[in-house]
Amino acid sequence: MQDKNLNEELLFSPERRAGVLVETLPYITRFAGRVVVVKLGGNAMESDQLSDQFAQDIVLMHSVGIKPVVVHGGGPQIGALVERLGLSTEFKDGQRVTDKETLEIAQMVLVGKVNADIVSSINVHSPVAVGLSGGDSNLIEAIQRDSSLGYVGDVKKINPSIVECLMEENLIPVISTIGTDSSGQAYNINSDAVAASLAAALKAERLLYLTDVEGLLEDVSDPASKISEIDISSLSNLINKKIVKSGMIPKAQGCIDAIKAGVASSHMVDGRIPHVLLLELFTDAGIGTMVLPENVPGSEEIHKKAKE
């Protein structure tokens, strides 16, 4: 018991806390003035405690000069409301067929509920968050993916001017992923794909996906098989070999697409870990999977350069 108390005293001693602050300094300097796009999903949206910690992380990032942009989905919440209303759900190749009624529910959930909740949780800590839908100022131009899927869309084009204007006013955009086509028709778009397209359009420094797993796993049944660092060519091979499966595919593909468009690195991190954004951005170790371009120095070299 005496040893435990001594360890706790050392862990939370002023010296240790000062050491943590010193460790974050080079990363704060590196990312100041840069755009960081964060895709929020999974348990981090469904747990009140994790949601509040996420909001704290976003506000802290903003306070030290980073320009965070939050993109969110809401598939489980949409599914829950569809079920509660007693409506039937049809899936095709693992994708929800979205008829007009389901689209209306998606709009209500994403724009009216999820987006508003995220904005409110951030504004509790600092009144800087502003909610947007992809239809605002034609932010997300959509194109129908497949007529058999109904109102499911893909990103045709990102028009980032409204996001850039908000960031210039020192505000944090929070974006729900309902896009519109040239006729004004709304479509529900995969939020992972939107986050990657937005990161590319904003010339973001980083793209982070909050997931419900430790990161990218070589074996989904073995948490110890987490890949800490991978380049886009190797990641593409894992997708082609079907080692990356299910809901991780759009995240992995989003990482690849963003980096090809010029984003320095993309990350898949466990949103169940308290303050995971700060741990991934501001510490030497990093705790998720970092995806890098081909033929570039690894993460250790990046951390070293950040301190120079």
The full length of the chain comes to: 308
- On whether the CB atoms of residues 158 and 201 are closer than 8 A, the answer is yes
At 265-290, the pLDDT tens digits run 999 999 988 888 988 888 776 688 99
Q: How far is CA 220 from CA 57, 216, 247, 271, in A?
A: 28, 8, 12, 17
Return the pLDDT at 3.
47
Give the residue among 95, 71, 110, 78 at the shortest CA–CA distance from 144: 95
Return the pLDDT at 226.
87
What phi, psi does 89 have (nearest 5°)? -125, 130
Return the pLDDT at 15.
60
**What end-to-end distance do the CA atoms of the chain give, in Å?**
42
- At residue 298 the predicted structure's pLDDT band, cuts being 50, 70 and 90, is very low
Arithmetic mean of pLDDT, 301-306? 41
Return the pLDDT at 171.
98
All structural domains of the chain, each given as residue ranges with its CATH number in brackets, are 32-307 (3.40.1160.10)
User: Bigger pLDDT: 95 or 110?
Assistant: 110
Give the residue among 292, 299, 168 at the shortest CA–CA distance from 232: 292
Return the pLDDT at 299.
42
pLDDT at 9 over 50: no
Q: How many CB atoms lie within 10 A of CB 211?
A: 26
For residue 245, give both structure tokens: 């499966």
pLDDT at 71 over 90: yes
Give the residue among 68, 70, 167 at the shortest CA–CA distance from 110: 70
- On whether the CB atoms of residues 172 and 128 are closer than 8 A, the answer is yes
pLDDT at 177 over 90: yes
User: Bigger pLDDT: 104 or 47?
Assistant: 104
Quote the crossing angle between the two packed helices 299-307 and 14-31, to the nearest 10°. Answer: 100
- On whether the CB atoms of residues 271 and 42 are closer than 8 A, the answer is yes
What string of DSSP letters covers 256-293? HHHHHTT-SEEEEEETTSTTHHHHHHHSSS--SEEEE-
Instruction: Report CA torsion sign: 14, 16, 18, 20.
Output: negative
Arithmetic mean of pLDDT, 86-93? 82
Cα–Cα distance for residue pair 148/97, rounded to 1 Å:
7
User: Bigger pLDDT: 178 or 242?
Assistant: 178
Residue found under tokens 């506000």: 59
Q: What is the pTM of this model?
A: 0.88
Percentage of the chain lying above the pLDDT 90 cut: 60
Helix residue spans in the chain (DSSP H): 2-11, 14-31, 43-46, 48-63, 75-84, 100-107, 115-125, 161-168, 191-201, 232-240, 248-260, 276-282, 299-307
Arithmetic mean of pLDDT, 178-198? 96
Give the residue among 224, 252, 220, 259 at the shortest CA–CA distance from 238: 252
Cα–Cα distance for residue pair 64/211, rounded to 1 Å:
25
Arithmetic mean of pLDDT, 238-263? 92
Q: How far is CA 40 from CA 6, 57, 71, 175, in A?
A: 38, 12, 6, 10
Return the pLDDT at 225.
84
pLDDT at 1 over 60: no
Amino acid identity of residue 260, one-letter, is: K
- On whether the CB atoms of residues 50 and 44 are closer than 8 A, the answer is yes
pLDDT at 160 over 50: yes
Whole-number average pLDDT of the chain? 87
Return the pLDDT at 19.
65
